[in-house]
Each structure stands twice: as structure tokens, then as C-alpha cells.
Amino acid sequence: MNQNSVTKVAGNTIDRSITMRSEVENAGQRLARRPWPTTPIRPGIDVSFEFFPPASPSASDQLAECVSQLAPLAPRFMSVTYGAGGTTQDRTIHVIEELGSSTGVPIAGHLTCVGANRATVDKVIDRYASAGVNHIVALRGDLPKDRTNDVHNNTYQDAAALVAAIRSKFPSESFEISVAAYPETHPMATSPEADIENLKRKIDAGATRAITQYFFDNNHFLRFLERARGAGIAVPIVPGIMPVTNFASIARFSERCGTSIPSWLPDLFGGLDAMPEVGNLVAATVAAEQCRELVEHGVREFHFYTMNRPQLSLATCHILGVRPNVTATTTQAVAS
């Protein structure tokens, strides 16, 4: 035994070469568990992309560019948000009609019920259906600040009531209904348990999938998944991934929607304000790392909040092996 490799810790003689060997073995095992970098192409990963309806001609061009880059990845669906209280109603429906006819990708229409009477909401459901939509992301929504007193008597009072109304119109499960879920608990929920119960009510009313609020610490999602499964929620729970296009605005928005910012995140984006290209490289790395870790935990489906910008979602998908023109056969061949 090499004398240099022996050390004394708390009165015990320890052979450092053995300690080092086991550290190397541990690190090796950790690396072997990771899909990276030996098997960059993972078969069986599904993605979906969320857009918001544009408010100006230049924003329309940006959305068209975004869709033209992301649609070839053959996402499971692309969804279009809806301004609570009907603030983007016509624009949302217009975008849905355009995307449905131009891309061939299934389109999901978001729909909120807060501040709108039932007849109005029912009409939007019918307009979605006549535009060929067979997937609604059903939400309560939040009224804009200037309309907080805007109370109607005859509303669907929450997302669960909206889900029940949609399901009664479209009883077949081939009509999909997704709902929102909150790994870090909705800011207005009375407790994490009540929030999970609320999610269960939405599923029991007929929802077929939950899409989560975005989060940066995967532990929140993994613990939430465990609690949801423990509460008897069996539908897919798809993590919402927010690539960080602008750290300052994401930090502000996160405060309002209850997403915590881990201490390492500001540090990563610190000093990059004047270097947006570098910021994008960092953002793609962060999102890809986040997804890869979730893949290691068995997650196979991701919903990207694109903010109508394709690059970061595209880069993350590319790293995950979700690419245009990769047929199932090619994917299998590359992975094996």
C-alpha cells in the first residue's frame, strides 16, 4: 500500500486510493445514467408549442416565422393563448383558423371563462369546433386589473365548470381537454392540497391532460407529480418549459405567477444584458439541461412556452433529439 494514499479521519485509517476509486465509480454511474452525450437522440419524446395571438402586423410576421420553424418538428399540438375576459378572442380564433389550415399540425385553442357569460363562452367553443379544433386548453383565467369588478351572474365560475361544459358538448375523449396545473401551487390556492384537489376536480370533470405552469427547479415538478399521482390523478401531466428569453421580465412575471427563481439562475444570466446572443446560448443550455434531467426521471413530453420566438425551443428540441425529418426508423437506428 502506498503510504501517501493513507490518511486518518476521526481516528480511522482511510485508503485514499479506495475513496477516489469509489468517487470515480459514482461519477461514472451518474454519467452512465445520463442520456448525454452518448445518446443525444432519444426516441419517443413528444413536444407541443404555445403561441400568443399577435397584436400588430410585425408581430404577425414574427409568429409566422416562429410557426414555420417549429411546425416541421411535428409537435403533438400547437396551442394559442386566449386573453381572459375575451380580450384577444377574435385574434385567437383568427390565428387558430390560419394555423389549422396552413400547418397540418393539430391546434389547441386556449379558452378562459372568468368575466364572460356562459353564452359568450359557449359561442367560442362552437367557433373553435367549426375551425376544426378538437382540443381546448380550458382555464379560469385572471381578469385584467381594470376589470376586477366585472362580475357576471351567469358565468362558469372556475376551470372545472368550464371543463364540464366542454365535455358535455363533446363527450368523446377524441376531443381533448387540457387544464393548468401548478407544481409550486397557484398563488390564490388556500393550500397545496386544495390546489391538487382542484386539479382532480378538473380531471374528474373530463380533462384529459394537465400542462404545468413553468418552473426552473425540477424538484418542484417531481414532487408535484408524486402528490398528484397519490391523489389519484392518472392523466398525463406535461411540464411547461419556459426558455429564458429575457431574465428581467421572466423574474418579474415569475413573482406574479408563483414560480420561484433558484439562486443559481440570476447568477447565470448576470452581466449578459448587453450580450443577448450569449444570453440565448445560456438560456438554451439551461432549458436543455432542465429537460434532460426530466427525461432521466421518465418524462417524455414537454410543452414549450415559445413567447413567439422559435430559437430557444428549437435548440432545446434539437438537443432532445426532436428534429425535422427524423423518421421513426432513423431515430431507432441512431439510438441503438
3 state SS of 78 = strand
Least CB distance from residue 226 to ligand FAD, whole Å?
18
Scan residues 166-185 and list those touching ligand FAD (CB under 6 A): 180
Q: What distance in Å separates the CA atoms of residue 331 and residue 182, rounded to the nearest whole number?
A: 33
Q: Which of 48, 89, 198, 245 binds ligand FAD (CB under 6 A)?
A: 198
The grid coordinates listed for 135 are 382540443
Q: Which is nearer to ligand FAD, 189 or 281 (CB)?
A: 189
Q: Is residue 155 part of the contact set for ligand FAD (CB under 6 A)?
A: no
Least CB distance from residue 250 to ligand FAD, whole Å?
15
- Cβ-contact 317, 47 below 8 angstroms: yes
Q: By CB under 6 A, which span of 38-46, 137-145, 146-154, 281-289 interacts with ligand FAD? A: 137-145
Q: Is the peptide bond before 37 cis (omega within 30 degrees of 0)?
A: yes
DSSP at 84: G
For helices 310-320 and 57-70, what crossing angle results, to 10°? 10
Scan residues 24-63 and list those touching ligand FAD (CB under 6 A): none
Q: Which residues are catalytic?
A: 50
Scan residues 68-87 and list those touching ligand FAD (CB under 6 A): 81-84
Q: Which is nearer to ligand FAD, 15 or 193 (CB)?
A: 193
Q: What distance in Å separates the CA atoms of residue 313 and residue 284, rounded to the nearest whole number?
A: 8
Q: Is residue 140 part of the contact set for ligand FAD (CB under 6 A)?
A: yes
Q: Where do the H-state alpha helices sit in 71-147? A: 89-103, 118-130
Q: Which is nearer to ligand FAD, 7 or 157 (CB)?
A: 157
Q: By CB under 6 A, which span of 11-19, 97-105, 132-140, 248-256 interacts with ligand FAD? A: 132-140
Q: How far is CA 53 from the centre of its chain?
A: 18
Q: How many residues of this chain bind ligand FAD (CB under 6 A)? A: 24
Dihedral over alpha carbons 140, 144, 145, 147 (to 10 degrees): -90
Q: Which of 105, 159, 286, 294 binds ligand FAD (CB under 6 A)?
A: 159
Least CB distance from residue 321 to ligand FAD, whole Å?
24
β-pairing, 6-9 with 12-15?
Answer: antiparallel
Least CB distance from residue 248 to ligand FAD, whole Å?
21
Q: Which is nearer to ligand FAD, 100 or 141 (CB)?
A: 141
Q: Where do the H-state alpha helices sit in 71-191? A: 89-103, 118-130, 159-169
Q: Which of 97, 98, 122, 142 binds ligand FAD (CB under 6 A)?
A: 142
β-pairing, 46-51 with 209-214?
Answer: unpaired
Q: Which of 42, 76, 91, 110 binds ligand FAD (CB under 6 A)?
A: 110
Q: What are residue 102's phi and psi, to 5 degrees?
A: -95, -20
Q: For residue 260, which amino acid is it?
A: S
Task: Provide CB contacts within 8 A for 280, sequence distance 6+.
Answer: 245, 311, 312
Task: Provide CB contacts within 8 A for 321, sequence distance 6+.
Answer: 40, 41, 42, 43, 45, 331, 335
Q: Which is nearer to ligand FAD, 201 or 323 (CB)?
A: 201
Scan residues 205-264 and list those touching ligand FAD (CB under 6 A): 211, 213, 240
On the 0-12 / 13-18 / 19+ scale of CB atoms within 10 A, 4 is exposed
Please measure the distance between the N-terminal and C-terminal CA atoms of the chain and give it in whole angstroms.
43
Least CB distance from residue 175 to ligand FAD, whole Å?
18
Q: Which of 97, 98, 158, 301 binds ligand FAD (CB under 6 A)?
A: 158
Least CB distance from residue 94 to ligand FAD, whole Å?
15
Least CB distance from residue 240 to ligand FAD, whole Å?
5
Which residues make up the interface to ligand FAD (CB under 6 A)? 81-84, 110, 112, 137, 139-142, 158-159, 180, 186, 188-189, 194-195, 198, 202, 211, 213, 240
